[in-house]
Amino acid sequence: QKEVEQNSGPLSVPEGAIASLNCTYSDRGSQSFFWYRQYSGKSPELIMFIYSNGDKEDGRFTAQLNKASQYVSLLIRDSQPSDSATYLCAVIRNTGGFKTIFGAGTRLFVKA
Amino acid sequence: GAVVSQHPSRVICKSGTSVKIECRSLDFQATTMFWYRQFPKKSLMLMATSNEGSKATYEQGVEKDKFLINHASLTLSTLTVTSAHPEDSSFYICSADPRGGGSSYGYTFGSGTRLTVV
């Protein structure tokens, strides 16, 4: 089992729709959770971080965390073609020392 | 915001030569920096953790004698790919956590270096 799992996609949504990206993690002691966006040929950029159970909203982005289910998601409202990218879920694992573990990423296509 | 500068952005070198990649934190001090490589359509693979003033910590399977890391100051880490071979061709990315320590608001990444060994 991978430590951080994401559906590789591609996930295709029409412009204006809600894109839902999911991530599960294996280390129950993990405390910090991040979503990064990576455009093709570019390095990742941080979109959001979340520490507490529940929802965290920032503009069109909402991160959702459920520690009991070891599940974190990212919702993108009013998706735009410019949102087309690979979204990486990352988790800081506390077991064995602090270490950031990245998922393999979900490719998102927003169709105009 | 926190900025990490990485140079060069692209480099083509001949097989057998060495290539140095620099990673600088421009507006914060980074006692720790991270080096990743990424193959096309694959995720980030952590190669090593660079620690200022001490030896780097390499991930399992990464040859420390091939990928030399030097973190001589609080703002500069370098990765040298020695005796490069075509299979070393990849996208190399550095990152740092502006907060450091165990509490993080996420990493800031450099712009990456596309290495092609011919």
pLDDT, tens digit, for every residue of A41-98? 999 999 999 999 999 999 999 999 999 999 999 999 999 999 999 999 999 887 666 7
pLDDT at B101 over 60: no
Burial string for B78-109 (b: 16+ CB within 10 Å, else e) reads: bbebeebeeebbbbbbbbbbbeeeeebebbbb
For position A97, what pLDDT does the model report?
Answer: 65
Cβ(B4)–Cβ(B108) under 8 Å?
Answer: yes
Mean pLDDT across B78-104: 88
Q: Who's near A94: CB < 8 A, 6+ residues apart?
A: A27, A29, A30, A31
- For residue A91, the model assigns a pLDDT of 92
Question: Nearest-CA distance from A108 to chain B in Å?
Answer: 13
Q: Give me the pLDDT at residue A94, please.
A: 73
**How confident is residue A25, by pLDDT bands cut at 50, 70 and 90?**
very high
Question: What pLDDT digit, counting tens, does each position of B26-64 carry?
Answer: 988 888 899 999 988 888 899 999 988 889 999 999 999
Residue B16 has pLDDT above 80, yes or no: yes
Please give, rounded to a whole number of angstroms, the shortest distance from the CA of B5 to a CA of chain A: 12
* Cβ atoms < 10 Å from Cβ of A12: 13
B102 touches chain A (CB under 8 A): yes
pLDDT of residue B23 exceeding 60, the answer is yes
> Closest to B93 (Cβ–Cβ): which among A43, A92, A104?
A43
Asked if B4 contacts B74 with a C-beta cutoff of 8 angstroms, the reply is: no
Distance (Å, whole) CA A62 – CA A47: 10
**Predicted pLDDT at B106:** 84
pLDDT band at B107 (very low <50, low <70, confident <90, very high): confident
Q: Is the confidence at residue B89, as pLDDT, over 90?
A: yes
* Chain segment A94-110, per-residue pLDDT in tens: 766 677 889 999 999 99
Q: Tell me the chain B residues in contact with residue A96 when contact means C-beta distances shorter than 8 Å.
A: none
The percentage of residues in chain B with a pLDDT greater than 70, rounded to a whole number, is 97
pLDDT at A109: 97
> Hey, is B49 helix, strand or coil?
strand
For residue A19, the surrounding DSSP H or E stretch is strand A19-25
DSSP letter string, A58-92: ETTEEEEEETTTTEEEEEESS--GGG-EEEEEEEE
Cβ <8 Å between A44 and B109 = yes
Q: Indicate if the pLDDT at residue A12 is higher than 60.
A: yes
Distance CA A39, CA A81 (A): 12
Amino acid of residue A110: V
Residue of chain A minimizing CA distance to B3: A45
CA atoms within 13 A on the CB side of B39: 4
